[in-house]
Structure 1
Amino acid sequence: MKKTTYINSQKFRSSIHAGFVALSLAIIPWGNLGFAQENVEMEVDLANMEESPQAHFGAPEELVNHLVIAVARADKEALEILFGDKWTDLIPSDGLDPEAADKFLSAWAMSNTLIPEDQTTRTLAVGANGWTFPVPIVLTEEGWGFDTDAGIDEVRSRQIGRNELSVMQALLAYRDAQFEYSSMDRDGDGVVEYAQKVLSSPGAKDGLYWETEEGSDDLSPLGPLFAEGGPDEGTYLGYRYRILTSQGESADGGAQDYVVDGNMTGGFALIAWPAEYDVTGVKSFIINQEGTIYESDLGPDGEAIVGEIEGFNPDESWSPVPVAFTDIDAL
């Protein structure tokens, strides 16, 4: 049996009848969304959906129209029909983030186009900057539908990319904070030094972050978010961190300890690695006071490898990251 798609519904509902799933979509102000002010109902052949449990259409434009309607209505059942049983890998099971949905709809209203990648693949681009929807639209024997598996991979890749850029920004912020910390004798020991930890001891200023009373001008070099999830505590931006107190032969100046007579005056360094490899990140990063970020793919055993790293030592297994690639606005 063929699936049919037609426009006539007055309500947004889902029903099952005579071997069909019918998804009815209510009237909303489509004038701002870029297509006709009409209601849409799609019928999907359940027999075909047993082999491919998601909706397919005769044209990619039809599929995209249904997507926009489903997002505007925050209809989880409609999204499940459009993306299949893996839809929760793309969208939280408790529903769409209203802010993210509004941004998507606003971008759609501003500009929307289907980019032909080849004869059987389309990419939806929206907004003034042409942001591309991560789930490709592909043509199969059943018609045009979302390639959900490819979309899941793309979403993960984009998240990893954003995490990695954010982590590089965090490393640069750590460097700035160390220089600010060492601008005066913070812990009152008579030595101007770098901090050997991020979170200060209670009542002390021996780390890059300390609690201050509201309205106080005595602000710490780092804020609480990095302190709570940074080197001393756990994960931050999908990464784990460790302060390094020495450097190896491959670093400028050769091997040396940063800590002299208990005070870290010779320099500082930080290493960051993915909390979950290939999920929260791929590359590991290191930086010292010189300011160059180096990256390396340590693989799934990165945690163990990092555990054996004693100091900042950017040998041939590490590559410098071009400054342009540390800009999170690039994504």
Structure 2
Amino acid sequence: MTGLIQRMAARASLGAMVVLLVVMGVCAAELAQKSYPSPDDAAAALVAASRSHDMAALRAILGPGSEALINSGDRYADEAALRRFVDAYDAHHALVAQGMERMVLEVGTDDWPLPIPIVHHEAGWSFDSHEGAQEIVDRRIGRNEIAAIRVSLAYVDAQKDYFDRQKQQTGTGEYARRIVSTKGKHDGLYWPAVDGQEDSPLEPLVAQAKEEGYPGATKQQKQVPYQGYFFRILFSQGAEAPEGAKNYVQKDRMTGGFALIAWPANYASSGIMTFIVNQDGIVFQKDLGTETSRLAANIKQFNSDPSWARITVTDQ
């Protein structure tokens, strides 16, 4: 598990840094887009609003075109994206001309170009969010889907780790029926770290999430997405799964296997595909469409019928 978690800790590409800049999802009529005397002024305003997380200012700066991009559904990932954008800008930035009336802001030591250009018009200079918006969404979706697959595989490793620990302690193994343990217990895959005691199977992943700005697992009052995806344990499998239909829980202990479902918090914004995985460690994907949230909520068992496509996972 450790190797997988370490790979997951690698930072997303610079393209992810500006996701929040175009995901405000508000009506353009609420706030007229601002124009600026120069491209430098426009860029400075964007960075200032990003640095202070001033959402109203970002809406005004980006204007029409940003309304087509709904909120990503993951506020913690969005806030982290703003921080990375500002850090990249502080490291290095430049405005590159693409003609007399078009400028592109490049940020970071690798001169990453912001897909949304600054264009000149009668009122001055402003960002053209109609251009480049879908590119940013596509990058976010790809990044989040890869993260969801990695988390799913980390879950498999964590369950096997938990089973082995239970077997060593009690002589008989069982899988965890919870992701986060009940307070004061070790009945889930994660529990708060205590000096002198072995960390929980998911401690590395939770520690990484905290570094990214997510709340501690035991502090969450309700389920929040991680990297744009929700995750839920499944307690049985259907007839189309290997070995056929069966319940994983027998005599109040989950010994017959385990499974997980992962689905996007906001379909077509934070992700497209829904993923399932069981104890075999094979991830399947399916596009549930615009009704993803409702359909995913009704999936109660792992059932890899032909409508689910098996995906090949490479070491990334």
> Cα offset for 1:221?
0.9
> Cα offset for 1:71?
5.2
Q: Which residues of structure 1 form unaligned runs of 5+?
A: 1-51
Distance 1:113 1:252 in 2: 56
- 1:210 matched to 2:191? The reply is yes
Match of 2:199 in 1: 219
| 8 Å contact kept, 1:71–1:101 | no
Match of 1:19 in 2: none
- The 3 A distance-change label for structure 1 pair 56 and 201 is closer
- The 3 A distance-change label for structure 1 pair 123 and 292 is farther
Which shifted more, 68-77 or 98-107? 68-77
Between Structure 1 and Structure 2, which shows a larger proportion of helix residues? 2
Between Structure 1 and Structure 2, which shows a larger proportion of strand residues? 1
| 8 Å contact kept, 1:271–1:285 | yes
Match of 1:314 in 2: 304
Match of 2:235 in 1: 245
> Cα offset for 1:114?
5.8
Match of 1:100 in 2: 85
- 1:234 matched to 2:219? The reply is no
Give the TM-score normalised by the residue count of structure 2.
Answer: 0.63
Distance 1:120 1:320 in 2: 48
Give the aligned residue type for 1:317. S
| 1:86-165 matched pairs, under 5 angstroms | 100-108=85-93, 113=96, 124-137=105-118, 145-165=126-146
Give the aligned residue type for 1:285. F
- The 3 A distance-change label for structure 1 pair 220 and 249 is same
- The 3 A distance-change label for structure 1 pair 315 and 240 is same
Distance 2:104 2:163 in 1: 50
Match of 1:172 in 2: 153
| 8 Å contact kept, 1:245–1:268 | yes
Distance 2:236 2:154 in 1: 20
- The 3 A distance-change label for structure 1 pair 302 and 261 is same
Give the aligned residue type for 1:254. G
Give the aligned residue type for 2:128. D
Distance 2:180 2:60 in 1: 48
Give the aligned residue type for 1:178. Q
Match of 2:166 among 166, 185, 188: 185
Give the aligned residue type for 2:284. Y
Distance 2:294 2:266 in 1: 13
| 8 Å contact kept, 2:239–2:303 | yes
| 8 Å contact kept, 2:65–2:128 | no
Across the two proteins, how many residue pairs are aligned to each other?
Answer: 262
Match of 2:273 among 258, 273, 283: 283
Distance 1:259 1:170 in 2: 23
Identity value in percent: 35
Distance 2:168 2:63 in 1: 58
Match of 1:200 in 2: 181
| 8 Å contact kept, 2:64–2:129 | no
- The 3 A distance-change label for structure 1 pair 68 and 309 is closer
* Structure with the larger RCO, 1 or 2 (CA within 8 Å, 6+ apart): 2
Which shifted more, 81-90 or 131-140? 81-90
Rg bigger for which structure?
A: 1
Distance 2:49 2:180 in 1: 41
Give the TM-score normalised by the residue count of structure 1.
Answer: 0.61
| 1:251-330 matched pairs, under 5 angstroms | 251-324=241-314, 327=316
- The 3 A distance-change label for structure 1 pair 152 and 185 is same
Give the aligned residue type for 1:216. G
Give the aligned residue type for 1:219. D
| 1:8-157 matched pairs, under 5 angstroms | 53-55=33-35, 63=39, 65-70=40-45, 83-84=62-63, 100-108=85-93, 113=96, 124-137=105-118, 145-157=126-138
Deviations 1:237-279 (A, max 9, x none): 2332221122233333333332333322222110011233334
Deviations 1:28-74 (A, max 9, x none): xxxxxxxxxxxxxxxxxxxxxxxx954489xxxx63x4444445666
Distance 2:297 2:61 in 1: 45
